[in-house]
Amino acid sequence: MTGFGDAADAAARLHDAGYLPDDAIATVVFLADRLGKPVLVEGPAGVGKTELAKAVAAAQGAELVRLQCYEGLDEAKALYEWDYRKQLLRIQADTTRAWEETHDDIFGPAYLLARPLLRAITAPGPTVLLIDEVDKVDFEFEALLLELLSDFQVTIPELATVTATTRPFVVLTSNATRELSEALKRRCLYLSLDFPGEQRERDIVATRVPEAGAALTASLVRVVRSLRGLELRKPPSIAETLDWARTLVALGVDDVDEGVLRSTIGVLLKHRSDVDRAVAHLAAAVP
């Protein structure tokens, strides 16, 4: 598959990949593809940021390369590192050559270990690079990303500057736990995602868990949306809505009542205080 023809084409192909975009999502995806710019997708956990990158990869028939960010992530884990054991063996195997010759040999492509960022720009075919939860890294790592996001190249001091032959479609996700640098934002198109409206969430459940049926889908989505209106430590995500729908189908449930809620609420909520607050709230709302 090739790039998207227009926003409508992007929407249709994402839908075929199992992702239901609204107009804003489809437009940003099309523009990112057409302009060759990364997309920064920001929003609370569980609103479909990572799934969007997966859907773009599926829609374009591209390889998905994922870099999962975490505190302390460094260049060696994200970009590249040298195969020191292989280099040492090469040095020990040939002690007759001048060091300059050996140096040029061991710092060649055969001794380079490509990590996700380098692998994405050196891939021979279409690639979607997902830099997931970029807000978990520090500003120093953000600076490392700037060359990649603006010029789609990586400078390896001992070797050369590696430039992408086929630009990857880049998706950065953020849960907005900290403010990202202006330099990073300037290089990206911006997309803000929130929990979907009621009808769109019903459509998502109907697409991903069609066996739930219209009545059960409407009931469970109504309950989930009610829970999100409470002051919870972790409101239920779309993924947890889908898990709950699959749970209710597996149990053969046709409707949601207080007994069903109490026995299955652990699928939706993962903190004891949230569970207690939700049960107290829903006891009066659900027959």
Going from the C-alpha of 123 to that of each of 162, 168, 190, the distances in angstroms are 12, 9, 25
CA distance 98 to 128: 43
- Domain-by-domain residue ranges, the chain? 7-79+115-192, 81-107, 198-283
Contacts of the segment 5-10: beta carbons below 8 A, 24+ positions apart: 6/30, 10/59
3-state SS assignment for residue 253? coil
The 10 Å Cβ neighbour count of residue 65 is: 22
CA distance 260 to 253: 8
Task: Note the CATH number of domain 7-79+115-192.
Answer: 3.40.50.300
pLDDT by position in tens, the chain (length 287) = 578 999 999 999 999 999 999 999 999 999 999 999 999 999 998 899 999 999 999 999 999 999 999 998 988 889 888 877 887 877 777 766 666 666 667 777 777 788 999 999 989 899 999 999 999 998 888 988 998 888 888 888 777 788 888 899 999 999 988 999 999 999 999 999 999 999 999 999 999 999 999 999 999 999 999 999 898 999 999 999 999 999 999 999 988 888 888 899 999 999 999 998 888 887 665 55
Q: The whole model's pTM is what? A: 0.85
CA distance 69 to 35: 26
Whether the CB-CB separation of 211 and 249 falls below 8 Å is answered with yes
The 10 Å Cβ neighbour count of residue 199 is: 10
CA distance 258 to 279: 8
CA distance 118 to 228: 40
